[in-house]
Amino acid sequence: MSSPVSHGMIGLSLGLAYVLPKGSWRYAWSAFREKWGLLAATLFLSGSPDLDLLPGLWVGNLNAFHHAYTHTLGWVFLMSAGVYLCWRSFHPEDGWRCFVLFFLAALSHLGIDYLTEDTSYPYGVMAFWPFQSDYFLFNRSYFLGPEKANVAALFQWHNVKVMIVDFLVCLPILLAVLVWKWALKQRGRRWKWSS
């Protein structure tokens, strides 16, 4: 469905919204260094539904198993719960908000694919499995669909254009997160000065 660029940038945006301190750019790098593992887990989860492309390598058709059970709420919950439990075993101080971050990162993949042009059957995502097996696709595409019939198809000019468009579409979201984190601190200062 969509390229790894859009999934990665949205995952990074969610991770930075969680990790970065409010408005204190002085401490941003230390927060980034301290929580790089959390950001890596968030990036992994935002792309994890596309792990279903790997079995397609063996049969020579990347789409052979794509859009099915890994593009569902069931997968999102299982993966985010599994990563959260592993994370908590090393970082017991991170509570339920960390699970919510992981869940949203994995769920963002379904949202992006729901809004992406789909040119191969089955069209859309089977989002509500295990509750139902219907596929869903928004009637308007906001992301271009990459060519991925086989490994050779990945290296086409069309896919370069898809990644550029994905970057340009997702960049404002990433910038909005950075501005929002900065603005939280600034707003707090104004409130303190006025009282």
Q: How many helices (H) and strands (E) does the chain have?
A: 7, 0
Which pLDDT score is estimated for 192? 43
> Diameter of the chain by CA atoms?
67
Place of tokens 């139902």: 132
CA–CA dist 99, 146 (Å, integer): 30
Residue range 54-100, pLDDT digits in tens:
888 888 777 777 778 899 999 999 999 999 999 999 988 888 999 99
Residue range 117-142, pLDDT digits in tens:
887 777 888 889 888 888 888 888 88
Average pLDDT for 105-114: 94
